[in-house]
Amino acid sequence: MSRRCRLAATASGVQVSPAAVVGNLTAWMTEKGAVTQVAFDGEDWRVEGSDKINTSEALVRIPEKLAITTYDVREHDLIAEVAEGRDDFVGLTLWVLAELAKGPNSSWSEYLTSLPAERSGGALSPIFWTPEERAELLKGSPVLELAEQRSAAMDAEYAALEEGLQKALADYPPAAYSQEAFRRAFGMVLARVTYLPSAGVLALIPLADSLPLTSGSGAVLDYDVETGEVMVYADRAYGPGEKVEITDTQTRPNSELMLCRGEVDMNNVEDYMEYTVELLRIDPLYNVKKEILLASQLEETQVFPLYSDRFPQQLLCYLRLTRIQNTEELMKVRQDLLPIALFVAPFTDVHGCER
């Protein structure tokens, strides 16, 4: 069995909601005022109907009231006090936990049913695998250490919240606010939370967050300030039946996609390898070169990302600096590095990279 198949088998579940669940969610969203021109065919999301969708037209329109943000956390009848002072992600986790506790009495039950951990019996992220599964399936991968760290951090967060949750959800069975319930809600948010650039917030967006992500060109999910709606905009013209994917606004490499969603994008343009360079202390010009690097916001030992199609401009300057033994040339490199440090985004971003 291939590693890819083993990963899927270990997590036990599929990554897209069954057609019936999505159908119920779509019907509920439509009743609440959402408008969608895409539909789930059991495998992919595709443009429905016979009309062409032009560039920048809305594929999906969702009323602001159906977008779950920190506002909903602050106004929640059960967990507002517990969530106070916590970051947005934890707040959304507590919101999901409280709504799950309500069961069928939750007004969001159709949405909750569509979330990954709810429909598959477990989150796909390796954060939720057993230590033995992580050790076997992630051997040799940097994701292994990250998954272990984040799993421990998640459990520590629950420990800090446990007493408050017991009080806030005292009217519900202990299982509703147990560590397992918290992990379950955490996994749901981890898999589906999105960032809305125009609003500057993390949010859970029913229906829209069910669409698959791509690191390349895809439809755009964002908040429209003028209409007060969350929109999925067409990035190009779409014909009837064409597959629709959403550009990942969080621009994550596959390591992060695996940790958050338990999936990878085989064509992920954000994937990179780390390349470490350093100054040699035996270099006669070591102290001068170190000063130049520090002035350029770089270290004497520096890690750079190497993408499949680009690399940071700073890397070339750094390599050149390590080779120079002429003080006049050093000043030229200093002049080359400073503009990059001042005007180019950090090299961990896609900006400032040579293609």
Q: How do 229-233 and 58-63 pair as beta strands? A: antiparallel
Do 215 and 232 contact (CB within 8 A), yes or no?
Answer: no
Least confident of 94-103, 170-179, 250-259: 250-259
Topology classification of domain 3-261: set domain protein methyltransferase, domain 1 (3.90.1410)
Q: Side chain identity at 73, as an amino acid letter?
A: V
Higher pLDDT, residue 354 or 50: 50
Q: Side chain identity at 183, as an amino acid letter?
A: R
How far is residue 313 CA from its own chain's centroid? 26
∠ at Cα 151 (5, 80), nearest 5°? 120
Residue 202 in this model has a pLDDT that exceeds 50: yes
Higher pLDDT, residue 151 or 343: 151
Q: Side chain identity at 192, as an amino acid letter?
A: R
∠ at Cα 260 (195, 145), nearest 5°? 130
- In the numeric block, which tokens belong to residue 345? 């985004």
Q: What is the pLDDT of residue 123?
A: 64
pLDDT band at 294 (very low <50, low <70, confident <90, very high): confident
Q: Provide mean pLDDT across the span 186-208.
A: 93
- CA-nearest of 114, 104, 115, 107 to 76 is 107
Q: Mind spelling out the 3-state secondary structure of the chain?
A: CCHHHHHHHHHCCCCCCCHHHHHHHHHHHHHCCCEECEEECCCCEEECCCCCECCCCEEEEEEHHHCECHHHHHCCCCCHHHHCCCCHHHHHHHHHHHHHHHHHHCCCHHHHHCCHHHHHCCCCCHHHCCHHHHHHHCCCCHHHHHHHHHHHHHHHHHHHHHHHHHHHCCCCCHHHHCHHHHHHHHHHHHHHCEEECCCCEEEECCCHHHCCEECCCCEEEEEECCCCEEEEECCCCECCCCECCEECCCCCCHHHHHHHHCCCCCCCCCCEEEEEEECCCCCCCHHHHHHHHHHCCCCCEEEEEEECCCEEHHHHHHHHHHHCCCHHHHHHHHHHHHHHHHHCCCCCCCCCEEC
Strand-pairing partners, residue 203, are: 194
pTM over cut 0.85: no
Do 25 and 17 contact (CB within 8 A), yes or no?
Answer: yes
Q: Domain locations in the chain?
A: 3-261, 273-354
pLDDT band at 8 (very low <50, low <70, confident <90, very high): very low
Q: What are phi and psi of 217, to 5 degrees?
A: -75, 130
Q: What is the pLDDT of residue 11?
A: 36
pLDDT band at 306 (very low <50, low <70, confident <90, very high): confident
Superfamily of domain 273-354: Rubisco LSMT, substrate-binding domain (3.90.1420.10)
| High-pLDDT (> 70) share of the chain, % | 88
Q: What is the mean pLDDT of the chain?
A: 85
CA distance linking residue 159 with residue 182, whole number of Å: 10
- In the numeric block, which tokens belong to residue 157? 């967060």
CA distance linking residue 56 with residue 292, whole number of Å: 46
Residue 116 in this model has a pLDDT that exceeds 70: yes
pLDDT band at 301 (very low <50, low <70, confident <90, very high): very high
Do 99 and 93 contact (CB within 8 A), yes or no?
Answer: no
Q: Provide mean pLDDT across the span 200-217.
A: 91
